[in-house]
C-alpha cells in the first residue's frame, strides 16, 4: 500500500465525484482519532477531502493517505474484517459512506465498484 497510488477520486469525472459525495455524509475528525480499527467489520468507508491519515497494521505504519483517497474499501470489497487501522495525523474532513450508501453506489454506478476493486488491488499488489 503506497501513497503514490492514484487517488480514488482521480478515477471519476466531476459529475461522478458529485454523486459519490452526495451519497455520503461530511464529517470532521480531530487529529489523533481513529475512524477505522483493524479486525472490525466492514460497515463503512471514508473518502478523505482534507488532511492526512496513517494506515497501521499491528500498530506499525504501512502508508499515509490524503485528499482524494478512500479508506476502508478493502474490507468492503473483500467482505472481510478490517486489515488495518486508520489514525488521523491532522484534522480530517471526510465523506462517510455507510454500508447502505456503498451498496447503492455499487448498483447505480458500475464504475464505482470497478474503482473500489482497482484501488484495493493496487494497494495489496493483486492487480
Q: Give the range among 8-12, 44-48, 76-80 with minimum mean pLDDT.
A: 76-80
The pLDDT-based confidence of 90 (bands split at 50, 70, 90) is: very high
Q: What is the average pLDDT value for the chain, to the nearest integer?
A: 88
Do residues 43 and 103 make contact, with C-beta atoms less than 8 angstroms apart?
no
Sign of CA dihedral 53, 68, 20, 27: positive
The CATH homologous superfamily to which domain 9-124 belongs is: Jelly Rolls (2.60.120.10)
More confident residue, 126 or 89: 89
Q: Give the range among 56-65, 80-89, 103-112, 115-124 with minimum mean pLDDT.
A: 115-124
38 contact partners, CB below 8 Å, separation of at least 6: 56, 57, 58, 82, 83, 84, 85
Domain coordinates in residue numbering, the chain: 9-124
The pLDDT-based confidence of 1 (bands split at 50, 70, 90) is: very low
Sign of CA dihedral 64, 113, 41, 18: positive
Amino acid at each position: 500500500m503506497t501513497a503514490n497510488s492514484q487517488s480514488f477520486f482521480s478515477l471519476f469525472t466531476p459529475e461522478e465525484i458529485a454523486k459519490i459525495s452526495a451519497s455520503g455524509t461530511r464529517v470532521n475528525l480531530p487529529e489523533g482519532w481513529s475512524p477505522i480499527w483493524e479486525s472490525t467489520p466492514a460497515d463503512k468507508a471514508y473518502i478523505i477531502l482534507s488532511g492526512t491519515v496513517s494506515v497501521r497494521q499491528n500498530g506499525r505504519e504501512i502508508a499515509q493517505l490524503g485528499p482524494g483517497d478512500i479508506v476502508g474499501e478493502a474490507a468492503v470489497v473483500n467482505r472481510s474484517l478490517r486489515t488495518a487501522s486508520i489514525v488521523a495525523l491532522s484534522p480530517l474532513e471526510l465523506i462517510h459512506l455507510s454500508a447502505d450508501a456503498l451498496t447503492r453506489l455499487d448498483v447505480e454506478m458500475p464504475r464505482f465498484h470497478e474503482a473500489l476493486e482497482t484501488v484495493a488491488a493496487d494497494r495489496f499488489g493483486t492487480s
